Amino acid sequence: MRILVTNCNTTEAMTKEIEAGARAAASPGTEILARTPLWGPESAEGWLDSFLSAAAVLDLLHGLDEPFDALVMAGFGEHGREGARELLDVPVVDITEAAAHLACLLGRRYGVVTTLDRTCGLIEDSLHGAGVAQNCVGVLGAGLGVLELSDDRRTESALLTAGRRARDAGAEVLVLGCAGMTGLDRRISAMLDIPVIDGVAAAVRLAESLVALDLKTSRAGSYARPLPKTRLWPRNSSSTCDAHDRK
Amino acid sequence: MRILVTNCNTTEAMTKEIEAGARAAASPGTEILARTPLWGPESAEGWLDSFLSAAAVLDLLHGLDEPFDALVMAGFGEHGREGARELLDVPVVDITEAAAHLACLLGRRYGVVTTLDRTCGLIEDSLHGAGVAQNCVGVLGAGLGVLELSDDRRTESALLTAGRRARDAGAEVLVLGCAGMTGLDRRISAMLDIPVIDGVAAAVRLAESLVALDLKTSRAGSYARPLPKTRLWPRNSSSTCDAHDRK
Amino acid sequence: MRILVTNCNTTEAMTKEIEAGARAAASPGTEILARTPLWGPESAEGWLDSFLSAAAVLDLLHGLDEPFDALVMAGFGEHGREGARELLDVPVVDITEAAAHLACLLGRRYGVVTTLDRTCGLIEDSLHGAGVAQNCVGVLGAGLGVLELSDDRRTESALLTAGRRARDAGAEVLVLGCAGMTGLDRRISAMLDIPVIDGVAAAVRLAESLVALDLKTSRAGSYARPLPKTRLWPRNSSSTCDAHDRK
Amino acid sequence: MRILVTNCNTTEAMTKEIEAGARAAASPGTEILARTPLWGPESAEGWLDSFLSAAAVLDLLHGLDEPFDALVMAGFGEHGREGARELLDVPVVDITEAAAHLACLLGRRYGVVTTLDRTCGLIEDSLHGAGVAQNCVGVLGAGLGVLELSDDRRTESALLTAGRRARDAGAEVLVLGCAGMTGLDRRISAMLDIPVIDGVAAAVRLAESLVALDLKTSRAGSYARPLPKTRLWPRNSSSTCDAHDRK
Amino acid sequence: MRILVTNCNTTEAMTKEIEAGARAAASPGTEILARTPLWGPESAEGWLDSFLSAAAVLDLLHGLDEPFDALVMAGFGEHGREGARELLDVPVVDITEAAAHLACLLGRRYGVVTTLDRTCGLIEDSLHGAGVAQNCVGVLGAGLGVLELSDDRRTESALLTAGRRARDAGAEVLVLGCAGMTGLDRRISAMLDIPVIDGVAAAVRLAESLVALDLKTSRAGSYARPLPKTRLWPRNSSSTCDAHDRK
Amino acid sequence: MRILVTNCNTTEAMTKEIEAGARAAASPGTEILARTPLWGPESAEGWLDSFLSAAAVLDLLHGLDEPFDALVMAGFGEHGREGARELLDVPVVDITEAAAHLACLLGRRYGVVTTLDRTCGLIEDSLHGAGVAQNCVGVLGAGLGVLELSDDRRTESALLTAGRRARDAGAEVLVLGCAGMTGLDRRISAMLDIPVIDGVAAAVRLAESLVALDLKTSRAGSYARPLPKTRLWPRNSSSTCDAHDRK
């Protein structure tokens, strides 16, 4: 089985980290393919970035030739998930929802610790759209930008502080709300003594499960195949028309 | 006062219609400026189109030189609203929320009639995000694609059928859920004997109100100014880096 | 266009203030007509006062001869709104809902700062009824009675304290929850650096918008015209019967 | 123990019926005292009537000299309940909430059958305010005005039709949503083979329970005693000032 | 009238206390019959205990020969209520829901103070299932195990501390969330100056009300009579088959 | 990895079917161990059965000596899940929640088709407790008892009818709401042309995922280890005391 993992931003180093995290979580026999969008923000922190990221990832997917069995979208709270479900014939799992689904299985209430306060609303909306917001006691910012996460010590300290606030608010399980936090889950878990979930790992396992059970995105209703029409895709918008979708 | 109106799709004829509708609704002294995105779908019907549209409209806004006092986003249910709020220093009103706000003032429950069933979920989510979903009894598809709306007779008949279903479900007010339906509101209203709201008109008036009261988007929290960072904007993604946002 | 503004209490001085606020917010060409109920509480602070106020305002409206194009009800959280919608053929906008509608356009979450804690529940219910409670993070009392608001310095200080609590709770926009606070919005906004909305101003602009768009209260369902029947109106309850409503 | 029952409208014959229903439901030793408001609508059907009724009943209570141990408010969906809680030192139970509370004990979901469709929203809001709306599957109008209920045969037939619709919608228990339906509960129950609750009977028993357990309305927060202030009560609004409340 | 009260745990001393509380609350002429399950936990603190308790109480009810007119289930938050409704032909009232129903009549918001934090979620779910969770501001643990409640002084102090937190969170009425707290309600109420409700007393009165009004559990839908089938009841699980339910 | 699967009822034949379904869904290398409770109902259809089943399964788990890495609870809508989480140190996944989690990944809305109408409420509550009810458009009964499912033809026909109703209500994905329906998912899916999820298969894969990611039930809060205390377990309730839990 081959799982494509898309980073939501243009930072290659982060794609590498995500790829490593995905590989560590995957079953033996699962191949991980990680890709970076060709345009968009270097990190996604807020709605402007998120909407650029969504289109950039869809643009990337639209141009891909390689076959894959499932897509994992590695952008915590970032948009695009439903569009990918329309575009692709394989299952799509986003790391936001994936982490929340597993969190619900491990405790009665969970919390999310993310980067900056400005992204909390975005994540709340993403959880709501995915249908798993009910048992979330809160999404808390750790006061760190996405690209500051490379400072491991500072990140760990900030996550611990935010994680304690989530626990005090009733979280029995913690979700790490950024693809760039991959790898920190076990250390935070040990320190706070509650399960901590990394979205990339969760999404890889859920994607594998869907493929194994031969379950695909429903084409009835919301995620029907895109209607054939003229779409000017951003990467070649100078051309007059892209009839690629007309089938 | 000058209000910029952005179409969500690349169909110029629809931009013209929206512009005319906006002008008809505007106060004397308000100048309407309508713009079409440079890329994206020719019509937005579903999440894939909507996410492309969101980025295309943000891309358009990012490249604009002209001054304006408020933005009206003419795409019913389409994404992008929150990103525009971050990007711009002027008020942003999207026609989805605008129509719903006015609908709440005219009846205890309202309904939305839109084009295809596949877009209903998108609109429900948009109303929820805007905080005005509670009194909505349903979003109903009329079975017509966006570009089929030019057939007036068929459109009117389809809207009447869907409008009656909404009324039977408890809607006391009807919202026309597509920018391309502008102009049909009064006829449908007369036939169904309930108020019918056109989102473009509603949004223009709300935008004027915000400007007149000197109210601007909050910069505290969700819609803070975009962080300065490298963003590769789609229109010039071949260039290495766009430092435009770094201030 | 002529907009009638009704105060919810019998204090004429407050009617004058509300009238001035309404005028300052109105478009050129809009005439403001302010009226005080003939009976009821001198200030509305709680359900008892609110229910008396609702009937007193309806009683006033029932007895009015003057023509007007829209009604603005200036009582934050006070009852009566839906009754006025049944009674009148012109649009009705209450300052509670009006402020909330505009607040939703300016930030992802808003908060309300009002007078006494005892009125908070009333306001919460009013927002819920109007369909705009979802994005409200809280209604907070400032610890001041309605008639104490004339002490500007104390009022400002109390509003700032409560406003900071609202902001800490996630409010990105603030609503001033009392008609008697009209005029303080800009100062509080400057001090807290978030948009602050005055309900009277918001309601006047929304009422103008509805009139301009020729939108009227729906008569289908909840706000149908009152059934003809014997109603003993309070002002002449010693008379045997008032057949005024029988048409 | 002495329970005061207030009718919400001015129709004496209905007060008599309510009184009889209350007596039939009361424990031995409970005295029932029924009163009619001095002004207001002859029947309450909609918000205008309901707000007049609320003030008229509060006006009545304000002027009462007789002692009583609890108040039962007999107006299904009518306003005023919270105001009476502020005004009185004895427990207050409204028939809307009372019926719903007992209904929740008898089935997983309940439905309400009321008079006209125009009053359904009012009842929904009243149930929501009382905190018991969650398990209600719907409030359905039977197409009969309050004063048409005296035609027993027609009423029974209309209630059966509406009751069947409620049952089909999932109602396992039925609430009769009008004080004027008192007495029909057992017949409808026998015909539909589900429990049917009369609000007057339910409220009398709940009021007795609160008195027996020495439980009184909380004075902490919402239902604190009315603030002393000038209130012009409607019945003597020609007088200059009523300082009755100043203690 | 004869009301059966079941303790949820096997501690006889607690059954005695519950019995005394029930008697003190009952009307003259009501006979109280208290029973202890034959197996299960000595105190119920969490889901494991609660599920054992539910089956043990149902097992007890299944084996009972004595006639009774209503059942009161004395286990705060414990499961079983809906099963008893299926099993018995008489009304069933559980002390959790009973306390909440009365609390809703006395204040706009209520809070629950219980034993250990680990039981709070259980109680929240029970209130939700009963349809009365909406107006609950929180369920708070007092940090005391069920069997520690016999230390009156420590219990009182812990309940006061938790009660103050509930009041600060907006509770206008307090519910004592454990059958073992029966008798403390008046003292806590006097100290906190808000109404405090004991679930056993509330349930006894509600059960009496249902019996007096001849209201029984609905057999339509959820609580239909158990289907006849082979059930191996735990007390005689060594036997091959119990056809008791086959009728 | 070894996964224990517990049937919720005493019917061995159904345990065999569930075991076969679990095996078919498991990864290579996963060992499936299926067990039947020693007492309880032969099929679970309603709350009485469900509460008996919950205790019987917990009783079974309490007495088990064999090691296993995760528990799958095969009873659709049946109680017990949270108790097992307290009791065991390994992850617990119930088939109800498992199916819903996967359904959320495949469509915007899902529906559940189950056996008898009387069990629908039970399932709704179970989905709500698990935090995944939001996107469920309805739980529909197919009019078949659990033990009638062995008639394949009748079952298929009944499921198709109910499945079409769910699809018409907006379900884009279908969940088979009974462990006894295992194996029918693909045929129903082919006929209705939407994804159909079998809870046993979903739960096995989710359990494997949790084990693979080394995620365990949180011990902070709700699912802390059971307190040591005297519990009389049903299977040896004639003995005086079971101190097994005291450690």
Using the beta-carbon criterion (under 8 Å), do C226 and D129 form an inter-chain contact?
no
Q: Which residues of F touch E237 (CB under 8 A)?
A: 38-39, 234-235
pLDDT digit string, tens, across residues B108-129 = 999 999 999 999 999 999 999 9
Q: Are F34 and F18 in contact (CB under 8 A)?
A: yes
Residue C182 has pLDDT above 90, yes or no: no
The pLDDT score that the predictor gives to residue A236 is 56
Query: Taking all residues of chain E, what is their mean pLDDT, rounded to a whole number?
Result: 93
Query: Comparing C-alpha atoms, which of E168, C177, F223, A40 is closest to residue D220?
Result: E168
The number of beta carbons lying within 10 Å of the beta carbon of residue B234 is 26
Size of interface C-D (CB pairs under 8 A): 148
Partner residue facing C105 (CB), from B27, B97, B212: B97
Q: Which residue has the higher pLDDT, A189 or E183?
A: A189
Using the beta-carbon criterion (under 8 Å), do F55 and E52 form an inter-chain contact?
yes
Using the beta-carbon criterion (under 8 Å), do D47 and C230 form an inter-chain contact?
no
At residue E100, φ and ψ (nearest 5 deg) are -65, -40
Q: Which residue has the higher pLDDT, D171 or E244?
A: D171
Query: Taking all residues of chain F, what is their mean pLDDT, rounded to a whole number?
Result: 93
Q: Are D184 and D17 in contact (CB under 8 A)?
A: no
Q: Are C9 and C76 in contact (CB under 8 A)?
A: no
Q: Which residues of E touch D203 (CB under 8 A)?
A: none
The pLDDT score that the predictor gives to residue B237 is 47
- Chains E and D, touching by 3 or more CB pairs within 8 angstroms: yes
Using the beta-carbon criterion (under 8 Å), do C27 and B212 form an inter-chain contact?
yes
Q: How confident is the model at residue C119 (pLDDT cuts 50, 70, 90)?
A: very high
Query: Measured between alpha carbons, how far is C132 from D118 in angstroms, rounded to an integer?
Result: 22
Query: Measured between alpha carbons, how far is F146 from F91 in angstroms, rounded to an integer?
Result: 27
Q: How far is CA A231 from the centre of its chain?
A: 25
Using the beta-carbon criterion (under 8 Å), do C27 and B25 form an inter-chain contact?
no
Using the beta-carbon criterion (under 8 Å), do F39 and E125 form an inter-chain contact?
no
Burial class (CB in 10 A: 0-12, 13-18, 19+), D104: buried
Mean pLDDT calculated for residue range A166-171: 97
Residue matched to tokens 């379900």:
F171
Q: How confident is the model at residue B89 (pLDDT cuts 50, 70, 90)?
A: very high
User: CA nearest E48 in F: which residue?
Assistant: F83
Residue C115 has pLDDT above 50, yes or no: yes
pLDDT digit string, tens, across residues D83-141 = 999 999 999 999 999 999 999 999 999 999 999 999 999 999 999 999 999 999 999 99
Using the beta-carbon criterion (under 8 Å), do C101 and B104 form an inter-chain contact?
yes
Interface test with C, best of B105, B175, B204, B211 (most C CBs within 10 A): B105
Interface test with B, best of C88, C167, C213 (most B CBs within 10 A): C213
Write the DSSP string, D168-236: HTT-SEEEE--GGGTT-HHHHHHHHTS-EEEHHHHHHHHHHHHHHTT-----SSTTPPPPP--EE-GGG
Partner residue facing A52 (CB), from B40, B55, B85: B55
Q: How confident is the model at residue E152 (pLDDT cuts 50, 70, 90)?
A: confident
User: CA nearest A130 in F: which residue?
Assistant: F104
Contacts of B113 (CB under 8 A, 6+ apart): B140, B142, B159, B162, B163, B166, B174, B175, B176, B177
Using the beta-carbon criterion (under 8 Å), do E173 and D218 form an inter-chain contact?
yes
Residue matched to tokens 């597993």:
A102
User: CA nearest C199 in B: which residue?
Assistant: B213
Helices A120-130 + A95-106 axis angle, to 10: 70
The pLDDT score that the predictor gives to residue C247 is 33
Burial class (CB in 10 A: 0-12, 13-18, 19+), A69: middle
Using the beta-carbon criterion (under 8 Å), do D224 and C46 form an inter-chain contact?
yes
Angle at D136 between CA D130 and CA D142, to 5 degrees: 105
The pLDDT score that the predictor gives to residue B179 is 78
Mean pLDDT calculated for residue range E70-88: 98
Share of chain D above pLDDT 90, in %: 86
User: What are the structural domains, with CATH classification, of chain B?
Assistant: 2-95+203-236 (3.40.50.12500), 96-200 (3.40.50.12500)
Using the beta-carbon criterion (under 8 Å), do E105 and D93 form an inter-chain contact?
yes
Residue C98 has pLDDT above 70, yes or no: yes
Q: Which residues of E touch D134 (CB under 8 A)?
A: 128, 131-134
pLDDT digit string, tens, across residues B16-39 = 999 999 999 999 999 999 999 999
pLDDT digit string, tens, across residues A66-86 = 999 999 999 999 999 999 999
Residue E237 to chain D, least CA–CA distance (Å): 31
The pLDDT score that the predictor gives to residue B56 is 98
3-state DSSP call for residue B111? strand
**In the numeric block, which tokens belong to residue C128?**
């819920």
Residue C103 to chain B, least CA–CA distance (Å): 9
Query: Measured between alpha carbons, how far is B55 from F233 in angstroms, rounded to an integer?
Result: 62
Using the beta-carbon criterion (under 8 Å), do A43 and B229 form an inter-chain contact?
yes
Mean pLDDT calculated for residue range A132-146: 94
Q: How far is CA E136 from the centre of its chain?
A: 17
The pLDDT score that the predictor gives to residue C245 is 40
Task: Return the partners of chain A (3 or more C-beta pairs < 8 Å).
Answer: B, F
Q: How confident is the model at residue F209 (pLDDT cuts 50, 70, 90)?
A: very high
Query: Taking all residues of chain A, what is their mean pLDDT, rounded to a whole number?
Result: 93
Q: Which residue has the higher pLDDT, B215 or A185?
A: B215
Task: Return the partners of chain C (3 or more C-beta pairs < 8 Å).
Answer: B, D
User: CA nearest E136 in D: which residue?
Assistant: D131
Using the beta-carbon criterion (under 8 Å), do A80 and B51 form an inter-chain contact?
yes
Q: Which residue has the higher pLDDT, D164 or B144?
A: D164
Size of interface E-F (CB pairs under 8 A): 149
Using the beta-carbon criterion (under 8 Å), do F97 and A105 form an inter-chain contact?
yes
Q: Are B21 and B180 in contact (CB under 8 A)?
A: no
pLDDT digit string, tens, across residues E180-231 = 787 789 999 999 999 999 999 999 999 999 999 999 999 999 999 999 999 9
Residue C82 has pLDDT above 50, yes or no: yes
Query: Measured between alpha carbons, how far is C108 from B70 in angstroms, rounded to an integer?
Result: 18
Interface test with F, best of A213, A223, A225 (most F CBs within 10 A): A213
Q: How confident is the model at residue E148 (pLDDT cuts 50, 70, 90)?
A: confident
Partner residue facing D42 (CB), from C59, C80, C229: C229
State the alpha helices, DSSP H only, in C47-184: 47-63, 81-87, 95-106, 120-130, 152-168
- Chains F and E, touching by 3 or more CB pairs within 8 angstroms: yes
Burial class (CB in 10 A: 0-12, 13-18, 19+), E67: exposed
Residue F98 has pLDDT above 70, yes or no: yes
Residue D183 has pLDDT above 90, yes or no: no
Strand partners, B187: none
The number of beta carbons lying within 10 Å of the beta carbon of residue C24 is 15
The pLDDT score that the predictor gives to residue F236 is 56
CA dist list (Å): D97 to D93, D105, D116? 7, 13, 19
Q: Which residues of F touch E235 (CB under 8 A)?
A: 234, 237
Contacts of B28 (CB under 8 A, 6+ apart): none
Residue D68, phi-psi category: left (phi > 0), alpha (psi -120 to 50), beta (remainder): beta
Task: Return the partners of chain D (3 or more C-beta pairs < 8 Å).
Answer: C, E
Using the beta-carbon criterion (under 8 Å), do E226 and F46 form an inter-chain contact?
yes
Partner residue facing A173 (CB), from F208, F209, F218: F218
Residue A247 has pLDDT above 50, yes or no: no
Q: Which residues of C touch D83 (CB under 8 A)?
A: 46-48, 50-52
Mean pLDDT calculated for residue range F54-59: 98
Q: Are E169 and E156 in contact (CB under 8 A)?
A: no
Contacts of F210 (CB under 8 A, 6+ apart): A102, A105, A106, F70, F91, F93, F216
Q: Which residues of E touch F87 (CB under 8 A)?
A: 48
Residue A240 has pLDDT above 90, yes or no: no
pLDDT digit string, tens, across residues F23-52 = 999 999 999 999 999 999 999 999 999 999
- Chains F and C, touching by 3 or more CB pairs within 8 angstroms: no
Query: Measured between alpha carbons, how far is B33 from A210 in angstroms, rounded to an integer?
Result: 48
Size of interface B-C (CB pairs under 8 A): 151
Using the beta-carbon criterion (under 8 Å), do F118 and E80 form an inter-chain contact?
no
User: CA nearest D78 in C: which residue?
Assistant: C51
Residue F245 has pLDDT above 60, yes or no: no
